[in-house]
Amino acid sequence: MWIGEIVQPHILSKSTSGDDWADELLLAGPGHEICLTLDRDIDRDTLRAHVSAQQKTLMTAGLRPAGTVALHLPPSLAYIAALLAAWRIGAQAMVLDYRLTEHEAERALTALDPQLVVLPDRRPEARLTGYFGVTPVIRRRAGRPATTGHVLVQLSSGSTGPSKFIARTAPSLIAELERYARIPGYPDRGERAVVIASPLHVLGLVGGLLHNLRAGVPTVLPKSLSVEGVLDAVAADSMPTTLLGVPSQARMLVDSHHPGGGSGAARPASGPARLDRMITGGEALPATLRERFTHAFGSDLGLMYGMTETGVLATDLTGTDLPRLTPAPGIEIREQGGELLVALPESPYIGPVDPTRWADGWLHTRDAGLVDAGNGRITVLGRCDSQVSVRGLKVDLGEIERTLLEIPGVEAAVVLYEDKIEAFVSGAGDLRDLEINAILRHQLARYKQPKALHVLREMPRTATGKPVRNLAILRSSAGTQ
């Protein structure tokens, strides 16, 4: 987490509030149309009423156009209504994950300095919960109004170091929604989406909640994110259904369907009849996981590549062309020195940040990759910092991670290099380091094999659910430090 003086990249003379974009794109539609399902079905008239009530409460508390409000709420109707209400007012909404510690949250608030903070009336403690029934409580602060035209501020995952503050304008969000609308096979009217990716972060928020509101696709947030809870939510309606989550959630579903985790234990496909596909993002998707998912549920398992800074960049919604991905409509990606760069008209960051991350209209993703000159498809090869030299030999730590993830029972893997290659894994069942090392000896050249392998009871993860890549934290979890 980072504390510092907020940089003001540009001052806008006009607020985006006059565009009424939230009303026109997200809240419009027939009043009786079901748009959300939490503990009950919620139609657009009901949602608009909740948003109007939150708008009145926020304005009574002093929020005005170009004002600032931090939403430190869990996934809930209160969160959704407060976010849309802030945008209706023309304010800048800062979304803080409810799983941040009080210390982390206060550091972020000190840096961002919002005028209001919206908190839940009680601290959510439950795990594997898709939504919470909380009442919003407003806390006033002596903060400052927005000095930029950004309407959304989010924190990066922080998986490799301090989180960055990432800001999006209304035109940036609208452009991403237009990209989703043009991606063949993405959920559209007449379908529903069960969203198990967190709606506090870009995949679940823009790719799930906001796209669905615009497209007329009901968004279902399961009460329980357990296997039974997710599959019950999928099977609760006869409409064609897309499941939106992350690869680790797909693995959880597959492992429960195939006791023992190995492909040899697979039963015939018997998933919910209307599970048309699962779309994942945020992590790499192992080919064997896609095969096992398709065999288990008779449904496609696809992948989207993107960043908090940009939203969706490239997709393969069926998973049939992996690892190759097709750039989303309107996205320009190029390769420079083995790194993927994305055309972006302005910096997405506020606050201190490495100035080389964005320059001259190009965002450096810090992801290694290839761009096919013929068809423009990209192949993401992992983080640029995963390419290391071991005794003069080039080693891709991402290749070692992918190999580990193909081993039955391994659910998460992180491989790092300091003075040696060190691997950390976690998973279901009784994972044994000797057995894993034996498999690696058959699949990896000797110089690529980890010198230390740690089997963790649970992989440390960031608030966004990504595995932590901090060596000290991982070693501490392994009891070696």
| pLDDT (average), residues 28-37 | 96
**Is 391-478 CATH 3.30.300.30?**
yes
Q: Per-domain residue ranges for the chain?
A: 16-169, 183-326, 332-385, 391-478
For helices 44-60 and 77-89, what crossing angle results, to 10°? Answer: 60
> What is the amino acid identity at position 157?
S
Q: Residue 432: which pLDDT band, with cuts at 50, 70 and 90?
A: confident
Does pLDDT of 219 surpass 90? yes
pTM over 0.75: yes
pLDDT at 463: 67
**Topology of domain 183-326, per CATH?**
Rossmann fold (3.40.50)
Rounded to 10 degrees, what is the CA torsion of 367, 372, 378, 383?
A: -20
Q: DSSP letter at 423?
A: E
Q: DSSP letter at 352?
A: S
433: number of CA atoms within 13 Å, CB side?
Answer: 14
Q: What are residue 452's DSSP bridge partners?
A: 422
Look at 223-227, 341-345, 457-461 and tell me which has the smallest mean pLDDT.
Answer: 457-461
Quick check: do 183-326 and 391-478 share a fold?
no
> Which is higher by pLDDT, 136 or 399?
136
Name the phi and psi angles at 210, rounded to 5. Answer: -70, -45
**Topology of domain 16-169, per CATH?**
Rossmann fold (3.40.50)
Determine what percent of the chain falls in helix, strand and coil, rounding each to the nearest 5. Answer: 30, 25, 40
Does pLDDT of 84 surpass 90? yes
On whether the CB atoms of residues 58 and 138 are closer than 8 A, the answer is yes
> Which is higher by pLDDT, 168 or 260?
168
Q: Which of 216-230, 262-276, 374-388 has the highest mean pLDDT?
A: 216-230
